[in-house]
Structure 1
Amino acid sequence: MAMPSEIMKTTTEREDKHPEVVSSEIMKASAQSQSKHPKVVHLLDSVKKTAFVVGTALLVFAAARNSITWHLQQFWGASGDFWQRQWTFIYQLFGEDDVFIGIWGTLGFTTAVFWLANLLFLLIDITGKPAALIKYKIQQDKNIPVPFPKLMKAVQQVLFNQIILGIPFSYVAYQVMQWRGCSHKAEDLPTFQWVLLEMFVFSLVEEICFYYTHRLFHHPRVYKYIHKRHHEWTAPIGLVSIYAHPVEHILSNILPPTLGPVLMGSHLATSWMWFGVALISTTVAHCGYHFPLIPSPEAHDFHHLKFNQNYGVLGILDRLHGTDEVFRTTKAYQRHILLLGLSPLTQQIPDDTKDKKSNISKGKLE
């Protein structure tokens, strides 16, 4: 224990020093403390960033919600009878059988959405035509056209995942949704405000679950056994979005978008709408083309090229954890915007020749 005289001596010595020297010592001590506890510092930094992102989102939503919800609700309210009639028709088409529509209807709907969303992309990938669309290819020297044996291998795995894994998963998901009290009837269709809230929650739940399961599959002890299959495609195509090892398909592809509706106890119609959005979104993210007026696939395309960047769906957790730092220094990040014109972004913001060669060689090494 320090004696009073020692404490006074230390205090006197500190007071005798120039304020800038004392400040320097304090900063040095703080830096040493941070270096001893890097995980704690990084966690606090992530919490601060999370609070900033969420707080900003809430402020924007609070400012815009009256205008946005008014316009959308006019459409929703005016077409409410239309949507109810359509769901009534679908429900009756399945004989008003909750098991039939809950299991087989969901499986059929998601399968149809996936293949319809991939139809145009497959046509371009297989034929390399129309040539006018090839200019929108992100990695312009890859998969034009796609090697047929490689494509057939992907198709077989996709069908296995959709059918052999999809049927039992749909059965289990139906049982859980029934336990949660999820309705199938047209008279129970939710209001516009509730659907809006649900879609927001679904997106956040998917972002959290997909990000962390995806990072888990990139762990060196796991990657070569499971996730490496998905990364056989360094230049992805839409079909590759569910080309994955069965374990990955369950934990990363199916479970994250399913947990949101389970958590919220959602109506089946809302779940179908969300599943459709999620399937189209992941197809676009893997498609390899940055077409006008569609969400940018640059981030996930870069992930397939570099392997260790952009693990999430929305990019929120990538920013919080710093797993997009390299991406944000590239031309690909500058191109990560909604294309509103007809001129390809690869022409508007071209890669430097030196950087392009470096990126390709590094992608091959990894």
Structure 2
Amino acid sequence: MWISRLSRFLDSVKQTLFILGTGLVIFLALRNSIVWHMQEFWGASGDFWQRRWEELYLLFNQDDFLLSVFGTYIFTTAVFWLCNLFFILLDLTGKPEFLLKYKIQADKNTPLRPADFMKAAKVALYNQTVVGLPMSVMIFCVMKWRGCSCSPADMPTFPWSVVEVTIFTLVEEIGFYYTHRMFHHPRIYRFIHKKHHEWTAPIGLVAIYAHPVEHALSNLLPVALGPILLGSHLATAWMFWALALFSTTVAHCGYHLPLLPSPEAHDYHHLKFNQNFGVLGVLDRLHGTDAQFRASLAYQRHFLLMSSMPVTQQVPEPPKKKSVSE
């Protein structure tokens, strides 16, 4: 038993190092040219982004509360709906038709019923507003206590922002995995998390289609913990939250599209319920909550698609075995 756990732990560590280290390895391998170019880029664009942040700060009357609460609400709401707009049109119209071949569960939500779309949209807007705004106030108070700044004068350097976002990602993985798994506990599942799993074939909007308690504790809190722990600048938090919203939209979209992160793992979670509780898959490997997934066809298809050929063609269904009577 302990050998199996040790093996899973080592696999988890290796997976973490691979996911977070790939970019760093490439950076180091090409550092003689990349470092110079990045410094030149940041020297120019850093001033640009700082000026934009100064304008935004002035727009909110240099009021940290207004920017942190209402600015964050406007920003994250806009990012979420912009990320989903393409998938909403694709789901409702089935066009462009050639993209339907990338759908993971091809027989579900094709096309999406308008009534189902409205149901998901109403819950998403409710969570963003009725749950999100009060949570933003609480998060602002804690971030203020931690010394987090909104001032343009305190804008971090780009390299440090990258370091912070990497740490945020690890913190989110821990927070989301354990709260998500908690909501799957049989004693509370039907009261809270069952709502999210009404969608066995998810769409992008389902990323925040959840019970208000789950949205607060499992969706919002894990992504806020990193900036709180590090006392980060609001601009860095916004950058991470935009990436997180994009990531969760793709994870729920139901399409395995070229050059986008594979949504196979989380789509499989919605199909089977008891697999793949995390974001990165690191803690699933550690705790063995991906064993069934790793033995599935979906796992064989779980890779970054680098060509226009759908994964269903690259990794087709195995031929059905003929029965004895045949």
Q: Is the TM-score greater than 0.5? A: yes
Match of 2:137 in 1: 171
Correspondence for 2:124 among 150, 158, 161: 158
One-letter code aligned to 2:114: F
Kindly report which structure 2 residues correspond to 1:189-228, keeping only aligned pairs within 5 A, or say none.
189-228=155-194
Match of 1:182 in 2: 148
Deviations 1:84-123 (A, max 9, x none): 1111121122122211111100011001100111001000
Kindly report which structure 2 residues correspond to 1:267-286, keeping only aligned pairs within 5 A, or say none.
267-286=233-252
Aligned-pair CA distance for 1:76: 2.0
Kindly report which structure 2 residues correspond to 1:1-366, keeping only aligned pairs within 5 A, or say none.
44-53=6-15, 64-66=26-28, 67=30, 70=35, 71-352=37-318, 354=320
- Cα distance change on mapping 1:306 and 1:73 into 2, 3 Å: farther
**Can you give the 5+ residue segments of structure 2 that lack an aligned partner in the other structure?**
322-326
One-letter code aligned to 1:212: Y
- Cα distance change on mapping 1:155 and 1:43 into 2, 3 Å: same
How many residue pairs get aligned? The number is: 317
- Cα distance change on mapping 1:97 and 1:50 into 2, 3 Å: same
**Can you give the 5+ residue segments of structure 1 that lack an aligned partner in the other structure?**
1-37, 356-366
Q: Distance in 2 between matches of 1:62 and 1:283?
A: 26
Match of 1:34 in 2: none
One-letter code aligned to 1:120: F
Identity of aligned residues (%): 58
Contact preservation (8 Å) 1:290, 1:298 = yes
More deviation, 110-119/341-350: 341-350
- Cα distance change on mapping 1:226 and 1:59 into 2, 3 Å: closer
CA RMSD of aligned residues (A): 2.2
More deviation, 79-88/134-143: 79-88
Aligned-pair CA distance for 1:354: 4.8
Q: Distance in 2 between matches of 1:283 and 1:54?
A: 22
Q: Distance in 1 between matches of 2:253 and 2:43?
A: 35
- Cα distance change on mapping 1:285 and 1:89 into 2, 3 Å: same
One-letter code aligned to 1:326: Q
Q: Distance in 2 between matches of 1:145 and 1:98?
A: 44
Contact preservation (8 Å) 1:285, 1:297 = yes
Deviations 1:285-310 (A, max 9, x none): 00001111111111101111111111
Aligned-pair CA distance for 1:345: 1.2
- Cα distance change on mapping 1:245 and 1:293 into 2, 3 Å: same
